[in-house]
Amino acid sequence: MINRKVLVPVFAALSLMFVIALIAGNAWAQARKTTITCSGESNGNIDVSFKISGVGNGDLCVVSSGTFTADCACQNGGGNCPSAVNKRSEAVPAKTGQSFSSTNGQISGGEVVTAPGESACHLTCPGGQNSILAEVVEPSSVSVSVFAPGTFTQSDTTCTPDSGAAPVRSGSCTPSPAAIIFNSGCAALF
């Protein structure tokens, strides 16, 4: 015969251990929760918003980066781009880093990854023609990395990770890549 005086405390102890494991597991899952979204602006910039948990406390460096495509062409005095070999698509990496203070092990905020401008175009054009940025294609993916205190250099609210620093958390978002057209006649060459 089973003694109830022994059985009840054993079941109570097992139940308590199960509840503790469940709570601890849920706390761990919540501590690792990451939400990152990104969307494109009409000028090609990418707005990145995030809420990242499980990052510890203190000032942290959040770096968002992606690779744009700059389609460059030579434009003549009449505003047209001749269909010639002197046009080029350039991969232009871009990143931004900002410092955020964590509260209770999480950070929330946003930053903007800036699209390239005319200076991204490095074409040599014939006389009477100028190098222009015909269009910018937004990145297909934007990565977001969080760096711990002591692993980055800070200047005001901007930051740069130290060489070789490993992020404590990372993730990515996928904007709907769009081509931002500045000159439709020239962009048609690509």
Q: Which residues contact 150 (CB under 8 A, 6 or more apart)?
A: none
Q: How far apart are CA 46 and CA 12, in angstroms?
A: 54
Question: In this structure, what token pair is assigned to residue 147?
Answer: 């760096």
Identify the pLDDT of residue 5. 56
Identify the pLDDT of residue 30. 39
79 DSSP assignment:
S
Identify the pLDDT of residue 162. 96
Beta bridge partners, 170, equal 145
Identify the pLDDT of residue 31. 42
Regions of the chain where pLDDT drops below 50: 6-8, 10-31
Assess contact for 138 and 109: CB atoms under 8 A. no
Identify the pLDDT of residue 111. 96
The domain spans of the chain are 1-31, 35-187
Identify the pLDDT of residue 2. 59
Identify the pLDDT of residue 109. 94
- Tokens 């046009």 correspond to 87
81 DSSP assignment:
-
pTM of the model as a whole: 0.77
